[in-house]
Amino acid sequence: MLRQSRLVFSTQRVILAWRGSMSGRTVLASSRRLTNLPELRAVVSTSVKDSPFIRCLKKEPTDYTPVWLMRQAGRYQSEYREIRKKVGFLELCKTPSLAAEVTVMAVNQLNVDAGIIFADILLPLENLGLGLRFAEGDGPVLDNPIKTVADVNALPDFEPREELSYVLEAIKTVCAEFDGRTPLIGFAGAPFTLASYAIEGGGSKNYVHTKTLMYKEPQVWDTLMRKLSDITSRYLLAQVDAGASAVQIFDSWVGALSPFDYERFVLPYMKDLVGTLKGHAPVIYFGTMTNGLLSLMSQTDADVLGVDWRINLDSGWELIGKDKAIQGNLDPLVLFADKDEIERQVKEVLAKAAGRPGHVFNLGHGILPKTPVENVQYLVELVHELTKK
């Protein structure tokens, strides 16, 4: 039986009406209303700081292994799909009440130990004039990708606290609703991953344009990475000021690099970025297909390294160093299996962690569409029950 959720909604299910920020039309959607709180002020409560999740990030003992899941708010949920029938993805991100709504809904539904604000890593690229949109079935598209040295030099500066204020308002709303019961994670894309999207104009199989610029124009690459690092730093610090208890930096595509290239073209900027965040909030650094990079990624001085399922958790921990916490690393596709197999796989991950302080249970990547909700709930319950002391 699932333990009673630590989070409750402030009101009953209602029908909300809001003005679409992008289209200007009135949209109706079925949702739960969050408390209307004027003049929200961020305060990270003592109870949040002493929560199992935050204690785990600091490698302090906890009563059980905390768990949260990447994309814990998403298309696998029928409630989320109902909202998306009424509003596009970007409009959802840019409407603080709705972004807060789906963030809180996921925590309430799954009983996870932390929320993560609903947003997207590519939002800052829109403010750089790259023309961000999300094409149905094709994912993110940047209509004005970086193609020349002049394009890099022409990138505008902007203030995340102003241009991305809708994310900050969503964070404040969620933190007020959590009321010190549950930590909230802020996040951003890492400079390399943002640069890859900005140059390729979307996803890529081989990152030919990104690597060509990196190899042939190292000074231009330096300019681009410094700009993206600075924007990301200011954006994440603003999220912490708004109430985020920890931040995660997503380096989704960094696994495309060799260790030699990572050390030359990424590590210096990641060190600088993490350095600006230290002392403000715990930092989680996550990438996929990074087995050959983990020892170098550890040099960023992030508090926690996230690993995917392509490496055993204990082997990954050896590479990053036992002085750091680790996050991971169940294959998301295990959640399509039956409960016996889910239990078998969860026990294997936990066995590799061996009960050491500093293991945050997560998937090796985000929850996939069509994942059965009941299996996700079972996973969270199982991790809690198997590790309680």
Reported as a single tens digit per residue, the pLDDT across 194-216 is 999 999 999 888 999 999 999 99
Q: Are 224 and 130 in contact (CB under 8 A)?
A: no
Q: Compute the distance between CA of residue 213 and CA of residue 307 in angstroms, rounded to an integer.
A: 28
pLDDT of residue 313: 98
Please state the domain extents for the chain: 42-387
Q: Compute the distance between CA of residue 329 and CA of residue 307 in angstroms, rounded to an integer.
A: 6
Burial profile 9-28: b = 16 or more Cβ within 10 angstroms, e = fewer:
beeeeeebebeebeeeeebe
Q: Look at strands 115-116 and 132-135 and give their pairing.
A: unpaired
pLDDT of residue 360: 98
Q: Are 29 and 101 in contact (CB under 8 A)?
A: no
Out of 6, 32, 33, 84, pick the active-site residue.
Answer: 84
- Nearest alpha-carbon partner for 92 in 108, 76, 81: 81
Reported as a single tens digit per residue, the pLDDT across 239-254 is 999 999 999 999 999 9
Q: Is 356 annotated in the active site?
A: no
Q: Is 84 annotated in the active site?
A: yes
- Nearest alpha-carbon partner for 367 in 383, 351, 379, 350: 379
pLDDT of residue 44: 54
pLDDT of residue 138: 65
Q: Is 314 annotated in the active site?
A: no
pLDDT beneath 70, residues of the chain:
1-46, 137-138
In the chain, the amino acid numbered 54 is I
Q: Is 120 annotated in the active site?
A: yes
**Signed CA dihedral, 37, 39, 45, 48: sign only:** positive
Q: Which residues pair with 247 in a beta bridge?
A: 186, 283
DSSP annotation of 155 reads P
Q: Compute the distance between CA of residue 265 and CA of residue 239 in angstroms, rounded to an integer.
A: 27
Out of 76, 113, 120, 303, pick the active-site residue.
Answer: 120
Q: Is 75 annotated in the active site?
A: yes
Q: Compute the distance between CA of residue 52 and CA of residue 62 in angstroms, rounded to an integer.
A: 5
CATH code: domain 42-387 is: 3.20.20.210
Out of 6, 32, 55, 75, pick the active-site residue.
Answer: 75
Q: Look at strands 13-19 and 26-32 and give their pairing.
A: antiparallel
pLDDT of residue 135: 79
Reported as a single tens digit per residue, the pLDDT across 225-284 is 999 999 999 999 999 999 999 999 999 999 999 999 999 999 999 999 999 999 999 999
N-to-C CA span, the chain: 18
Q: Are 333 and 368 in contact (CB under 8 A)?
A: yes
Out of 80, 197, 262, 285, pick the active-site residue.
Answer: 197
Tokens 């930590």 sit at which residue?
A: 183
